[in-house]
Structures are given as C-alpha cells and as structure tokens.
Structure 1
C-alpha cells in the first residue's frame, strides 16, 4: 500500500474536498483524484460518497482513515528513529484558537516550536471558544487553544496560562483607579458574542454580583476582539476583556486598563485535543511541549 496515496487520502478526509486537499499539498485536483481512484481500485472498495459539495467517507473509508493515520504515524516515528536529529521533521499542524490565544499566545508558541522544528507549517483558524471545541471534536483540526472548557469524554484539556478579566476604557474616559463592578452600568458597553470564553466568564461574574445582563447598556456585540478594541479606543463604549489582550494595548498607551473591586474570578487558557484522533508525530510533540512553548522555556 502506497503511503503517499494514504497521505493524500487523509487530506481529502480532513477537508471533505478534493480541491481543498489539492491546494494544501500542492498537487493538482486531477492528481489527487488519481491517487484516490488507485486506492479504491487496489482495495476494491468505494472510499467516498458525494453529498452536495462535500466528499463524505463511506464506512469502509472511515476504517481505512483510522489505519492510514496509524501507518503514517509509524512512518514518522521510523524516520525520527533513524535520523540523528529531529530538525528534519516536516508537516502541518492545524490549530483552532479563540481570539485571545490566536492573537497573543500562538505566535509566541509557533516561534518557539519552529526553533526546534523549522520545517513545520501551521494552519491557524480563529473562532469562538465553542467553535474551537467543536472543530477539535469533529477532527477538522489537530489542536485547540481556548478560554473555556466544554466537557466531553473525547476532549482532554491542558492548562496553559491563568488570567483574569479587566475593564478597558478609552484614554478620554474619566474613570480612574480600580472601579466597582456596578460602575460599568453607567457607560455604553461593548460585548463579546455569546459563544466566547470571555463572555461566559463575564456572565458568571455578573450573576455572582446580582447584575442582570439586561441592566448593561450594551451598544454592540462583536465576534472580533480587534473590533471590540477599536470601539473602546474610539470612546464609543467600555468593555471587560482578557487581561492578556488589554495589557498589550495599555502598554502602548492606546487605552486604559482598570482592575475591578471584587472581581477575583480567574480562568485558564487551555490546549485541548481529541483522544480519539490519532495525532501526527509533530502534533504530539506540540501537545507535549505546549506549556513550555507558552512560557518560552522549551529547551
């Protein structure tokens, strides 16, 4: 059985598309189709059903996919074993990340990882924490990094960084020093969307302080952390966001960051992976070293 054909097969499975798989691995769509047809002919089975625009695995295709992942992992391990160093490892790691990790954590992690494995390519998809968890569950990414846990027996979480939320205002806002949580009721407020980890923590804190979400003067909801920052910088509203994100803007004097009295709730950012997904050797190395990648101490 040709390992390259199996590699091409796994990419079609992951993208549910011959054309998208071809784009990723720099082959023509006709070449990808030829590889799949050769596999089907050799095994005398049908691997995909065409459903709308997507190519969906048949039951036989699903079984082959699981074996293909294992065989490709064994190939990587064999290459690693017979080479003196690990810098020759190459391949792609797919990561889904919520907004704060995607903007402020992953670039540092990628930089650290590529010092040791310079032939690695990363595909980063940024979305809400809930969607990150869904992508990890359905296997469309290898790893997720997010700010909220969504419990599922298939998901394993590794704590990376602990942080808290802070209030941010424009440089023109008259607020000074630590503020009380109820002070935010007096100002226009910009809110993250409901599926973000930041929003989930904020709603828990509001409930803890007997504040209904409806009491806030919410002028805008946004899925984009950068858009939210611009609302605040332009003095359109205030917001409560990740301290990690706020610190970057505050240190550059783009906005003001305030602690909140009694706002002691903290959260973790987690790496999450699917225990039922056979990881490539590179993905496994990234998972195992994630904590050190964040703090810059990967030896």
Structure 2
C-alpha cells in the first residue's frame, strides 16, 4: 500500500477539500485525486462522496481513517530512526510565546545548558501562529506555544496551567468565605487576553451572569496585567506560572470559583512529526520536575 496515497487521504480530511490538500502537499489537484482513486482501488471501496465541489467522507472512509493515521505515524517514526544521527545539533533554535519567554525559559534554560552542554540555544518570541509557521518552514526547530492542529506538526503537552483570579493584598475578597463569581460584578477588572480558547470560556462565563464584571483595562501582555493588579488598578484572571513568585511572596492571592475550575492555559512543544522527540522528552521531564517542586 502506497504511503503517499494514505497521506493524501488524511490531508483531504484535515483540510476539507482536494484543492487545499493539494496546496499543503505541494501537488496539483489532479495528482491528489489520482492518489485517492488509487487508494480506493486498493481498498475496493469509496472513501469520499463527491457532490459538485464538495467532498464528504463515507462510512468506509471513517472506519479506515484511524488506521491511515496510525500507519503514517509509524512510517514517520521509522523514517526518523533510520535517519537518526547520534550527534546532537550544534544549535537548537527555539521559538516561544512572550509568556513562556518571561516565566518558563529563565528557569529552564540553565538546566537545558547543563543537560546539553554541546548545544547553543537560539531563542526568539512570537505568537503561536507565527511560531507554528516557522516550525513548518524549518526556520526554528521547535516552538513552546499553544496547541496547534496540523498534520505535519506534533504538539506534545508540556504544561497545563490553571487560570485563576488573582487579587492584591488587602482586597475585600480575601475576607469572604464561599465567594460566588457574581461578586465580580462590582469590581474593576484587568483582563489579560492571549487569544486562546480558554480565555473565550471565561468571557462566556461573564456573559452568563446577570451583572457582568467591569473590564476597565484589557491587555495582551500578562506582565502588564500582573503589575496593574499589584498597583491595585484592578483584579485579574492570570495563569499560575505568571504570578507564582508574587503568590509565594504574599503580594498576590489566587481566588477559586467553581465556574472557572478546570480552565487552564496549555503550553506545548510544537515540532515537525518525528523530529527532536528525544529533546522534547527531556524538556517535558524538566518542566514537570520544576512545576511539581
């Protein structure tokens, strides 16, 4: 069975059309169609229903999909092991979001240098979309960013960081027991927005309240948001890693609400499928040891 035919099948499903799959594979649309038809002949079944320009996966296609994905993954892992070089690269190019650069990298990089003394580390920051594109274009080796769904990328979870309300010392909420989220209605709120879906979940909780909170300041920079809370300009929902030091020092205090329980910011290592897996495993173990300490 031709691995390129299965790759075309998976890409058509991911992108929702033959044309988009062809663009992603740097092929012509007729070439993708020919690969799908070849796979259908091998399987002796129809994988897609074609209605005009629309394609819909058939029941046979749905049943075959997980096997195609697994075979592709096995092939890529096998290719990696065949081409594996024991010599580590001289330089590791790491992209990261601003939050990761501010709160995770400074404590992590010395440990990485100790573990891999022969590697030079080159860091750059950007948004998740920008970093994912750079990984795909091989401009960087890996990115520490939000999860991304792309057939050529592997997203290995490194950190799941709870998002909690943080208030400053002396705030009235610290005197309350069994505080309900409705109490936010009368409070000036600083809102840190990083564009991830979890922040949208918090917005939806606000919209469900009879009296939504007053968002007086909105920023896309967590450090700015944190400093505004420290200056008592308002209170703010922040990822735990952002405020960890200030909480330990007794300058910020997390408040839990049942409605926001389980809302977290996820940081992943984005790499090309089958590449830098050993390095990512080491990275995962280091971050787990640091955050559980």
Q: TM-score if structure 1 supplies the norm length?
A: 0.59
**Is the Cα contact below 8 Å between 2:193 and 2:199 reproduced in 1?**
no
Task: Pick from 267, 270, 291 the counterpart of residue 269 of structure 1.
Answer: 267
Q: For residue 156 of structure 2, what is the aligned residue in structure 1? A: 158
Q: In the alignment, is the contact (CA less than 8 A) between 2:206 and 2:212 conserved in 1?
A: no
User: How far did 1:105 drift?
Assistant: 2.4
**1:259 matched residue in structure 2:** 256
Instruction: Report what 2:283 is aligned to.
Output: 290
Instruction: Summarize deviations over 1:133-158 as a string: whole Å, max 9, x none.
Output: 34334433221112x32322222111
Instruction: Name the residue aligned to 2:85.
Output: 77
Note the alpha carbon deviations across 1:104-158, whole angstroms, 9 max, x for none: 3233332222222213222222334444334334433221112x32322222111
1: distance between equivalents of 2:111 and 2:289?
7
Contact 2:91 2:120 in 1 (8 A): yes
Is the CA contact 2:184–2:212 (under 8 Å) kept in the aligned structure 1? no
Unaligned runs of 5+ in 1: 1-69, 81-88
Q: How many residues of Structure 1 are paired with residues of Structure 2 in the alignment? A: 206
Please say if residues 205 and 265 of structure 1, whose CA atoms lie closer than 8 Å, have aligned partners that are also in contact.
Answer: no
2:205/2:259 contact within 8 Å kept: no
Tell me the equivalent position of 1:204. Answer: 201
Distance 2:127 2:213 in 1: 22
Query: Corresponding residue for 1:97?
Result: 96
- For residues 144-183 of structure 1, the aligned pairs below 5 Å read 144-146=143-145, 148-176=146-174, 179-183=179-183
Moved more, 173-182 or 235-244: 173-182
Secondary structure of the corresponding residue to residue 93 of structure 2: strand
SS of residue matched to 2:184:
helix
Cα distance in 1, alignment partners of residues 205 and 281 from structure 2: 36
Structure 2 residues not aligned, in runs of 5+:
1-78
Aligned partners of 1:217, 1:131: CA distance in 2, in Å?
A: 32
Q: Deviations over 1:239-286 (max 9, x none)?
A: 10112222221111222221223322244321111338xx5xxx5542
- CA offsets per residue over residues 166-211 of structure 1, 9 Å max, x none? 111222422125643332232222222453x3xx312213425643
Report the CA distance between 1:94 and its aligned residue: 1.8
Residue 229 (structure 2) aligns with: 232
For 1:161, what is the secondary structure of its paired residue? strand
Query: Counterpart in 2 of 1:29?
Result: none
Do the aligned partners of 1:167 and 1:238 also contact (CA within 8 Å) in 2?
yes
Runs of 4+ aligned residues of structure 1 deviating over 4 Å after TM superposition are none
TM-score between the two structures when normalised by the length of structure 2: 0.60
Structure 1 pair 238–270 and aligned structure 2 pair: CA distance change class (3 A): same
Q: What is the rounded CA distance, in whole Å, between the counterparts of 1:99 and 1:181 in structure 2?
A: 29
Mapped contact 1:98–1:128 kept (Cα < 8 A)? yes
Aligned match of 1:121: 120
Query: C-alpha distance in 2, partners of 1:179/1:247?
Result: 22
1:260/1:100 Cα in 2 relative to 1: closer, same or farther (>3 Å)? farther
